Amino acid sequence: MAEKQNTVTITDNRSGKKVDIPIQHGTHGSGVFDVRKMYSELGMFTYDPGFVSTATCSSYITYIDGDEGILLYRGYPIEQLAEKSSYIEVCYLLLNGHLPSAAQLETFRCNITCHTMVHEGMRRFYSGFRHDAHPMAFMLGCVGAMSSFYHDSTDVTNPRHREISAHRLIAKMPTLAADSYRYSMGLPFNFPKNKLDYSDNFLYMMFALPTDDYEVNPVHAKALRTILILHADHEQNASTSSVRLASSSGANPFASVCAGIASLWGPAHGGANEAVIKTLEEIGEAKNIPKFVARAKDKDDPYRLMGFGHRIYKNFDPRATLIRDACHELLNDLGEQQDPLFEIALELERIALEDDYFKERKLYPNVDFYSGIILRAMGIPINMFTVVFAMARTVGWIAQWMEMMDDPEQRIGRPRQLYVGPATRDYVPIDERE
Ligand code: ACO
């Protein structure tokens, strides 16, 4: 809620009409001009493609200061959560707004683990997909299909339904994600093991073979835990905004999370971690880096260096700092410091950070620059990277959805437009057209 309120006056120079626009300030960060009454008062909309200057909601969940490189979940700095918390505790925090007591955490953990299995019919659902399709395509189909398998929790006006569907989504995403991989590899699905924690269970379902015992590698599990925490929420990014917009019509949470998955898949968003590895592979050798940097700088070439730049972080991405350390730690522990892609990545980072083009535009390595290298070192195939991101972000999507459902200001999302098409004209019968 706004703590103080003042106004700015806009004068329409055509008519001389003046309108007071209230200014609202939140807990931290830039204030907003509250333009909700502008259309009724001035008959004009605001124009802001890509929502560069537009706040679409107020939220209690996540705060980002892009200039200072700050990321807070419910007020807690990401650095402290990454060091001290568990992913499941972060899920509780994002959903409930406070850190849990030991008893609350245990109850929450039980609620999640009792939902980790998926309906057997869902597992048969996979056989309808081409085995070589992208796993994000499986995820889109399967999470959408959850609305049919779990239609007993799709009444969005019922708080208990909302809670159950939230637990189901968080619990079943790792199972569906691992199933996507297993199906694409022609491997049998593994059932979740509820004695394992969230990260360990995912690695187990991904990699355990029925023929062998499987021990979760603790170094892998720790790195995965860091990735999950760092990706858990990021306020009103493209995928979260897609979830909010889709669910603003009253659509059920499974369908709405599908909208988030669709948006996340794009290379400018969650697909970037996959694109980073492809870029590094394409570069091939450190000596080729200047050629690729030159392409990224060429105005006539649409090529971009994947893993660089962020709409909000214009100084550094605090997640990238943490994940960079995790990346070093993992590769040290695994004795794979010589991963040639990591060497290329470090050199690319060095060259780009010294380059005026990147400096002037404040293009720093983002979280995806390093997460791909970690996931690759863990044996997770490239096309599963965005799936892991989707798994981590599900709690953020759900927390934002739950917040929206309780928000008295919530209305169906309906952006306006500046129409620049043809003026009104009459239909011409086909035999009279030139
Ligand atoms: N390589 C080269 N140039 C770039 C890059 C890049 N990766 N990113 C931005 N630029 C340039 C643009 O060409 C533009 O230059 P100009 O001012 O001379 O026209 C300027 O920097 C600003 O770029 P915009 O596209 O206006 O910035 P925007 O905030 O809209 O885009 C985005 C942010 C999408 C992340 C962009 O930086 C990008 O495409 N990066 C690569 C993809 C990527 O890594 N995405 C992951 C984001 S993090 C996440 O989703 C978890």
Tens of pLDDT, residues 422-433: 999 999 999 999
pLDDT at 75: 98
Q: Which protein residue has the closest C-alpha to ligand 1 atom 39?
A: 268
Q: How many CB atoms lie within 10 A of CB 209?
A: 10
Average pLDDT over residues 48-70: 95
Q: Kindly state the average pLDDT of the residues 131-154.
A: 94
Is the pLDDT at 273 greater than 90? The verdict is no
- Cα separation, 172 vs 195, in Å, equals 15
Q: Return all residues near 153 (Cβ < 8 A) that are at least 6 apart.
A: 161, 162, 164, 165, 168
Lowest mean pLDDT among 186-200, 325-339, 348-362, 370-384: 325-339
Query: To test the ligand 1 pocket, which listed residue (361, 367, 369) has its Cβ within 8 A of the most ligand atoms?
Result: 361
Furthest-apart CA atoms within the chain: distance in Å = 80
Q: Taking a C-beta distance cutoff of 8 angstroms, is the pair 216, 225 a contact? A: no
335, pLDDT greater than 90: no
pTM: 0.90
Q: Is the pLDDT of residue 160 over 60?
A: yes
The confidence band for 338, taking pLDDT boundaries of 50, 70 and 90, is low
pLDDT at 336: 56
Residues 6+ apart with CB under 8 A from 346: none
- Work out the average pLDDT over 265-271: 89
For residue 405, the surrounding DSSP H or E stretch is: helix 385-405
Host H or E run for residue 360 = helix 356-360
Q: Which position among 167, 234, 269, 310 bears the catalytic label?
A: 310
Ligand 1 atom, smallest distance to 369 CA: 44
Annotated catalytic, 368? yes
Percent of the chain with pLDDT over 90: 77
C-beta of residue 83 within 8 angstroms of C-beta of residue 141: no
- Token pair in block for residue 189: 């699905």
Quote the ligand 1 centre to 306 CA distance (angstroms).
Answer: 9
155 is catalytic: no
Confirm or reject: Cβ of 223 under 6 Å from ligand 1.
no
Q: What is the pLDDT of residue 291?
A: 94
**Span from the CA of 310 to the centroid of ligand 1 (angstroms):** 6
Going by C-alpha positions, the residue among 10, 110, 67 that lies closest to residue 312 is 67
Looking only at the bridges linking them, the beta strands covering 32-33 and 18-24 are antiparallel
* Rounded-to-integer distance, Cα 207 and Cα 210, Å: 10
pLDDT higher than threshold 80 for residue 4: no
How many A from CA of 344 to the centre of ligand 1? 21
Mean confidence (pLDDT) of the chain:
93
Residue 221 in contact with residue 203, Cβ under 8 Å? yes
* Pairwise CA distance, residues 333 & 335, whole Å: 5
Q: Which residues contact 356 (CB under 8 A, 6 or more apart)?
A: none
Q: Residue 332: its pLDDT value, please?
A: 80
- Alpha-carbon distance of 367 to 393, in angstroms, equals 14
Residue 418 DSSP SS3: coil
Centroid of chain to Cα 257: 11
User: Looking at residues 153-176, what average pLDDT do you find?
Assistant: 96
**Does residue 184 register a pLDDT over 80?**
yes
- For the Cβ of 296 lying below 6 angstroms from any atom of ligand 1, the answer is yes
Residue 415, φ and ψ in degrees, nearest 5: -65, 155
Inter-residue contact 227 to 392 (CB < 8 Å): yes
Ligand 1 centre to CA of 399 (Å) is 27
Q: Mapping DSSP to helix (H, G, I), strand (E, B) and coil, where does residue 306 land?
A: coil
Decide: 390 in ligand 1 pocket, CB within 6 A: no
